[in-house]
């Protein structure tokens, strides 16, 4: 596994957000599960799900949200910038040289909220511009995948 620490992403207003990128060691382009979190991507043990995703040829991105830890942005304002920064992060992740253009979002607790925050920046009709999509869930309960959820990446 290759780990790139504090990879910069410049948001549309010039603020730099930083992410850790975990990716397969070999060449190729891969789908991306993206997590944006206010909990300090460096302040906790690497969760086992990152290893599982990378073993299955995904690029995992863990990004500190605006105003938190390695990211710029002044004082942290919970949920204020999520739609704008989340949109920018998905677009940024999709164009990375090791990404195949397919980006899914993941998270839990507060880092889960941006997944459900409708993108108000598309210029599309608010009622239909961002359709909801449901993924089938597979739950593994064995020695290799204890209590992990594997969700498919929904292509763009």
How would residue 121 be classed by pLDDT, with cut points 50, 70 and 90?
low
| Residue (of 15, 25, 30) closest to 104 by Cα position | 30
From residue 130, alpha-carbon distances to 26, 117, 144 in Å are 34, 10, 36
How would residue 156 be classed by pLDDT, with cut points 50, 70 and 90?
low
Q: 41, exposed or middle or buried, with CB in 10 Å at 0-12, 13-18, 19+?
A: buried
Delineate the domains of the chain, giving CATH numbers in brackets: 2-117+131-150 (3.40.50.1820)
How many CB atoms lie under 10 A from the CB of residue 62? Answer: 25
What pLDDT, in 10s, does the model give residues 39-98?
888 876 666 778 889 999 999 999 999 999 999 999 998 888 888 898 899 999 999 999
Q: State the pTM of this model.
A: 0.73
pLDDT of residue 129: 47
From residue 119, alpha-carbon distances to 61, 125, 129 in Å are 20, 11, 8
What is the secondary structure of the chain as a DSSP string? -EEEEEEEEE-TTS-EEEEEEEE-SSS--EEEEEEEESS-TTSSPPPHHHHHHHHTT--EEEEEPTTSTTS-SSS--TTTSHHHHHHHHHHHHHTSTTEEEEEEE---GGGGHHHHS--TTS-S-TTTSS-------EEEESSSSEEEEE-PPPP-
């Amino acid at each position: 596994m290759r780990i790139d620490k504090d990879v910069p992403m410049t948001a549309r207003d010039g603020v730099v957000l930083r992410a850790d990128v975990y990716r397969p060691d070999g060449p190729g382009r891969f789908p991306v599960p993206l997590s944006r979190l206010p909990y300090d991507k460096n302040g906790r043990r690497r969760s086992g799900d990152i290893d599982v995703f990378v073993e299955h040829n995904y690029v995992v991105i863990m990004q500190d949200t605006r105003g938190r830890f390695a990211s710029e942005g002044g004082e942290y304002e919970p949920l204020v910038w999520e739609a704008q920064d989340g949109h920018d992060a998905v677009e940024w992740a999709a164009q990375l040289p090791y990404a195949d253009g397919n980006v899914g979002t993941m998270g839990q607790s507060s880092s889960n909220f941006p997944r459900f925050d409708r993108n108000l920046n598309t210029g599309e009709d608010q009622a239909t511009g961002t359709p909801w999509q449901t993924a089938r869930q597979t739950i593994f309960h064995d020695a290799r995948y204890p209590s992990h959820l594997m969700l498919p990446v929904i292509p763009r």
